[in-house]
Structure 1
Amino acid sequence: MAENTVDRKYGGGERKPLGPAPTWEQVLQRNSIERLKREKPLHTLLSDELDELSTRHYLEIPEEDIVRLKWYGLYHDKPKVGTFMLRIKIPAGLLPPESLRTIGEISNTYGEGYAELSTRQNVQLHFITLPKLPEILDKLTAGGLTTAGGCGDTTRNITGCPLEGVLATEAFDCTPVVEEAATFFFGNPEYFDLPRKQKFTISTCPHQCDMPEINCVSLIGVIHEGREGFAMKIGGGLSTVPRMARDLGVFVTREEAIEVMRALLDEWKSDTRYRLSRVKARMKFMVDDYGPEAIREKVEARLGRKLESLPAPASIGFTDHMGVHEQKQRGFFHIGVPVPVGIVNGRQLVEVADLVQEFDGDVRLTKQQNFVITGVPEARLDEVKERLGGFGFDIDGHPLHATAIACTGEPHCNFSVTETKTKMQELLEHLEQKWGDRLGNFKLNLDGCPHACSLHWVGDIGLMGTTARETVDGTRQAYDLFLRGGVGPEQAVGRPLVRRVPTSRVPQALDGLIGAWLDERMDETFRDFAIRKTDEELKELATGQTGTISKEGVPA
């Protein structure tokens, strides 16, 4: 990057001098959500108002109260006719069988038997109506589950490696730290009024499968001078303004972890610069403005002591934990279960819960919308795999079934402008038939809008829904193609190189890129192939044409 060049979109360049912090009066004048949070405290909604709200007709409920329900994991389903998506938080994806059974039964009773696994290790139900919400929340509480902070300006689900406590190569078991953090932050009134959502991840997996590079605050497990603790990265995130997290350069013992996490949030939430505009309210913008060195100084000032210095370790190579592997507990195994596009039904959840309870195992949700069964005795491996197949889960299916992820999108999400899960299912069938096992662990990420819930910035190929300027084959649905992104050792923000590819032409565009990669393969990943090629070469491969490429992703 040339000297003095500022690339604010991807986080490079010089930092601009900070102006004076706005007053709270200015914040409340400019930001309607901050006014709402001042006028109606969010943490009292369930105890004081939910029963009354649930008795009213949906159309009679003020819009500001519908907005407040987000803090308890509720979003409008599409169309807005009185049904909702309900997001259940699962810290680090760890689900005992009794909790999984609770979710399955709620799905069957209240959610038309539908459920989906998310990229933040949540479970999302749909078709939920407000009159049933109080009894649903009571059932979730009885099952050891919560939706508090599932959405809204609070700490979202704390993610982690799904194999905490059983992974043979983990630095140490950080499950107690995850549980302590979830207990402290989830539903805590002090952190129910953040500038925007806050995403933590805590893991000791050497593969860094929890993707610390794209989280607001990441705790990366290490053993330092014989002590268990964490290095830290801050300021990651995707959406419309992607950032790779930056090294805070510290070592924090496991006993200090919650205190330091809290100090970071206190520093961010007390700075009114990040409350004036919702667009600039995420922690990554504070890291842009101050830099990690200055933020470390601010955190140390809050703590009243210096933190030890330690660079964050690199990933040893990304993995999705699919397959059958022995745990650190000898004689017991974990089985990775692909869930194509993350869709399951209530019956399957109950069946899996019943199976796992037979051998005192549990279920772990992954960030790739799959799950892992742990605690399987060696003598029962074949039986468990066979029974999972009977439930509808193909353990030995094509790797794309596990590595391809798609957001909620159509038909449920009000932000999506294109098909997502149905489109991905179509693409999976096409790619599996066309390329077979040659694809290996190729990662395809598809989002229906710029919010990047399915991480299109960091897939081998990312697809983001958009609208074509002209109708092609009866529709204006189209996708931008993002290339050169990655996580783990290849972490990088992708670039939107091929624009507005009509939905009917997406399979051809993928074939052009994948075919050239496989034909020219020189022991390189797809991302390395995309880096080796020029922008114009990649565009030509995607469109099948040489020469000028139009903004519609077709030859000019």
Structure 2
Amino acid sequence: MTTQTTAPTRTAEQAAGQSTGQADEHAAARTVRPPRATRPNGQWKVDGPTPLNHNEEFKAESNSLDVRERIESTYAREGFDSIPDDDLHGRFRWWGLYTQRKPGIDGGRTATLEPHELEDRYFMLRVRTDGQLLDPAALRVLGGISGDFGRGSADITDRQNIQYHWVEIESMPQIWQRLDAVGLETTTACGDSPRGFLGSPVAGIAADEIIDPTPVILEIKRRYIGDPELANLPRKFKTAITGHPSLDVVHEINDISLVGVVHPELGPGYDLWVGGALSTTPRLGERLGVFVTEDQAPDVWHGVIRIFRDYGYRRLRNKARLKFLLADWGTEKFREVLETEYLGYRLPDGPPPAPATRPGDHVGIHEQKDGRLYVGAAPVVGRVGGGTLTGLADLLEQVGADGARLTAHQKVVILGVPADRVDELVAGLEPLGLTARPSLFRRSTIACTGIEFCKLAIVDTKDTAARVIGELEDRLTDVTELLEQPIELNVNGCPNSCARIQTADVGLKGQIITVDGEQMPGFQVHLGGGLVGKGRDAGGLGRTVRGLKVPATEVADYVERVVRTYESERDAGETFAQWAHRADEESLR
């Protein structure tokens, strides 16, 4: 059953925006309008650095990165109650820490409670990996942190992070010591800062790689992550870098992306994209049309992030992402400012990336350039846990593999597997809750954290998605065997699109809906989204079916219905996204 609903008096986006600023893009218009010339927008190079809201005030008072010293010397000793508000709800994010949702608060109250009423005395902690190879020692550290400090929790996010819950402030010094020992960090994993990078999971090893992005990622991190000059941005800044033809880092939805291409005269290098982001005002990134060499890439990255720092809008946080500046400037002006004000030289024109050669999740068994193999495996919607991470470390040592990387699709890729040990590895993954041969929906479903831990969420996501996967595996075997590619199902607990609902075949946005006068958890439906990097022949945002709302208990029924309709109505070779955009609304219900 599907139904329509009316919005509550005070929306979840409004409540979340008051607490963290993550959900405050709901107020921005779909068509971005130029800022009013008579009112300052907080652009440092235009209006000066005077703070225009409290977020800007606390960032101006002191460098947010300095809060780590206070955590280690004071808060970890004196406990949760010793933490002042601007550190707890502000600067802690620069070290990957958010307070998590208090158990037992239903989604209907997300929009009505104040932040301090929603939050628990425990933290979510985000560890960035930046496409790094996780050897067995690193995996054991990650698993140990989960078991010792996170009640066994650990999720692979679609930003290639490891995310823990139930972390106490008293544990942070020990956690940082363990991470430091294996080259991992939480530096600027959250906050108005350069967030964790998406890097190709097969960097340096894939037989069909265009260029290895590892040197660029490492050099940018060495120079700039933790740089106080980049610790006060208008909002978050997301980076993606790949040299693989599968376009495996969802480059269209990042603030900056460097995508491997071959220039006809200059050889391998990167195509530059800027200004992508989703949330409640989705906008795909755009090419600047320039070619960037490996040596130039760190300087170009630095130039783009400083444009954002200096010219980004700071007065209203719902207009403070780079996508709004790009929408007002256009690509020609952006390129001109980058080259003349920040680089001091012109960049040559360059070619666009070719369409993706295959899905970028890297699930399955693939050849490396050195004769070994890499194996992509799927957990259920990113859930791994400490036991899985520790068990994976043991398995990698057992078969002689090099290590693992995380993907932008909540998967794990094991690298450097000897050819004669692949079967042993694949068999050993199954007891760990990982599979190299997942069903269509286990492979193609991702989900955000949801109401279990997130203060912004309205509905459950992880358990809902896991249940739906199981039901669809039973129901759709006759159809999925005929489909030529996976149908993506992305499940999000609120409007912020951490799970990329607008770019999925089927994107579900959590909200409270009304059925026969009764309120219940449900989802708004987006259909037919796609990115070039997911194997689509063209990228685009999904179509919202007018008035369609699906109760959380009936998601599997709806997905089965729409998939069967697609299978019966599609033309030869037509993708789900293509069909969803041309189908009449009755077929989509």
> Structure 1 length as normaliser, TM-score?
0.91
Q: Residues 151, 393 of structure 1: CA spacing in aligned structure 2 closer, same or farther, 3 A cutoff?
A: same
User: Which 10-residue stretch deviates more, 502-511 or 123-132?
Assistant: 502-511
Counterpart for residue 234 of structure 1: 274
Instruction: Compute the displacement of 1:152 (Å).
Output: 0.1
Counterpart for residue 375 of structure 2: 335
Q: Residues 236, 274 of structure 1: CA spacing in aligned structure 2 closer, same or farther, 3 A cutoff?
A: same
Counterpart for residue 388 of structure 1: 429
Any idea what the Cα deviations from partners look like across 1:278-304, whole Å, max 9, x if unmatched? 111111111001011101000111212
RMSD of aligned residue pairs (Cα, Å): 2.0
Quick one: which of 401, 406, 410 aligns to 1:365? 406
SS at 1:251's partner residue? Answer: strand
Quick one: which of 68, 76, 84 aligns to 1:54? 76
Please state if 1:78 is matched with 2:117: no
Q: Residues 95, 526 of structure 1: CA spacing in aligned structure 2 closer, same or farther, 3 A cutoff?
A: same
The letter for the 2-side match of 1:242 is P
Q: Residues 174, 146 of structure 1: CA spacing in aligned structure 2 closer, same or farther, 3 A cutoff?
A: same
SS at 1:307's partner residue? Answer: coil
Counterpart for residue 462 of structure 1: 507
Q: Tell whether the 8 Å contact from 2:543 to 2:581 is kept in structure 1 after alignment.
A: no
Please state if 1:492 is matched with 2:540: yes
SS at 2:196's partner residue? Answer: coil
Q: Tell whether the 8 Å contact from 1:485 to 1:527 is kept in structure 2 after alignment.
A: yes
Quick one: which of 28, 31, 44 aligns to 2:53? 31
Counterpart for residue 449 of structure 1: 494
Any idea what the Cα deviations from partners look like across 1:301-360, whole Å, max 9, x if unmatched? 121211111132232345121111111112x00111111110012111111112223425
Counterpart for residue 3 of structure 1: none
CA distance in 2, matches of 1:135, 1:203: 33
SS at 1:513's partner residue? Answer: helix
Counterpart for residue 501 of structure 1: 550
CA distance in 2, matches of 1:259, 1:167: 26
Counterpart for residue 145 of structure 2: 106
SS at 2:55's partner residue? Answer: helix
Counterpart for residue 530 of structure 1: 580
Q: Tell whether the 8 Å contact from 2:75 to 2:82 is kept in structure 1 after alignment.
A: no
Structure 2, unmatched stretches of 5+, are: 1-27, 103-118
SS at 1:90's partner residue? Answer: coil
Q: Tell whether the 8 Å contact from 1:333 to 1:374 is kept in structure 2 after alignment.
A: yes
Q: Residues 52, 246 of structure 1: CA spacing in aligned structure 2 closer, same or farther, 3 A cutoff?
A: same
The letter for the 1-side match of 2:97 is L
> Which residues of 2 match residues 200-219 of structure 1 at below 5 A?
200-219=239-258
Q: Percent identity?
A: 34
SS at 2:308's partner residue? Answer: helix
CA distance in 2, matches of 1:134, 1:314: 46
CA distance in 2, matches of 1:49, 1:147: 13
CA distance in 2, matches of 1:95, 1:11: 42
CA distance in 2, matches of 1:314, 1:446: 29
Any idea what the Cα deviations from partners look like across 1:381-426, whole Å, max 9, x if unmatched? 1111111123232322312212100001121111110010111011
The letter for the 1-side match of 2:440 is P
CA distance in 2, matches of 1:360, 1:316: 27
Q: Tell whether the 8 Å contact from 2:41 to 2:316 is kept in structure 1 after alignment.
A: no
Q: Residues 28, 471 of structure 1: CA spacing in aligned structure 2 closer, same or farther, 3 A cutoff?
A: farther
Higher relative CO (CA 8 A, sep ≥ 6), structure 1 or 2? 2
SS at 1:528's partner residue? Answer: helix
Q: Residues 10, 227 of structure 1: CA spacing in aligned structure 2 closer, same or farther, 3 A cutoff?
A: farther
SS at 2:328's partner residue? Answer: helix
CA distance in 2, matches of 1:299, 1:248: 10
Counterpart for residue 552 of structure 1: none
CA distance in 2, matches of 1:303, 1:404: 41
Please state if 1:413 is matched with 2:450: no
Counterpart for residue 19 of structure 1: 37
The letter for the 2-side match of 1:139 is R
Q: Residues 160, 18 of structure 1: CA spacing in aligned structure 2 closer, same or farther, 3 A cutoff?
A: farther
Q: Tell whether the 8 Å contact from 1:410 to 1:421 is kept in structure 2 after alignment.
A: no
Please state if 1:516 is matched with 2:516: no
The letter for the 2-side match of 1:487 is L
CA distance in 1, matches of 2:147, 2:233: 34
CA distance in 2, matches of 1:223, 1:29: 44
Counterpart for residue 11 of structure 2: none
Please state if 1:263 is matched with 2:312: no
SS at 2:497's partner residue? Answer: coil
The letter for the 2-side match of 1:168 is A
CA distance in 2, matches of 1:49, 1:95: 27
> Which residues of 2 match residues 48-447 of structure 1 at below 5 A?
48-66=70-88, 67-79=90-102, 80-92=119-131, 94-224=133-263, 225-271=265-311, 274-301=313-340, 302-319=342-359, 320-330=361-371, 332-358=372-398, 359-436=400-477, 437-438=480-481, 440-447=485-492
CA distance in 2, matches of 1:44, 1:527: 47
Instruction: Compute the displacement of 1:374 (Å).
Output: 0.7
CA distance in 2, matches of 1:451, 1:239: 4
Q: Tell whether the 8 Å contact from 2:150 to 2:167 is kept in structure 1 after alignment.
A: yes
User: Which 10-residue stretch deviates more, 335-344 or 58-67?
Assistant: 58-67
CA distance in 2, matches of 1:327, 1:449: 39
Any idea what the Cα deviations from partners look like across 1:143-181, whole Å, max 9, x if unmatched? 211001110000011102210111111102121111112
Instruction: Compute the displacement of 1:226 (Å).
Output: 4.3
CA distance in 1, matches of 2:332, 2:475: 49
Quick one: which of 514, 521, 533 aligns to 1:477? 521
Q: Tell whether the 8 Å contact from 2:489 to 2:506 is kept in structure 1 after alignment.
A: yes
> Structure 2 length as normaliser, TM-score?
0.86
Counterpart for residue 13 of structure 2: none
Q: Residues 490, 10 of structure 1: CA spacing in aligned structure 2 closer, same or farther, 3 A cutoff?
A: farther
User: Which 10-residue stretch deviates more, 233-242 or 384-393?
Assistant: 384-393
Q: Tell whether the 8 Å contact from 1:9 to 1:242 is kept in structure 2 after alignment.
A: no
SS at 1:124's partner residue? Answer: strand
User: Which 10-residue stretch deviates more, 154-163 or 43-52?
Assistant: 43-52
SS at 1:372's partner residue? Answer: strand
Instruction: Compute the displacement of 1:29 (Å).
Output: 5.4
Structure 1, unmatched stretches of 5+, are: 1-7, 543-556
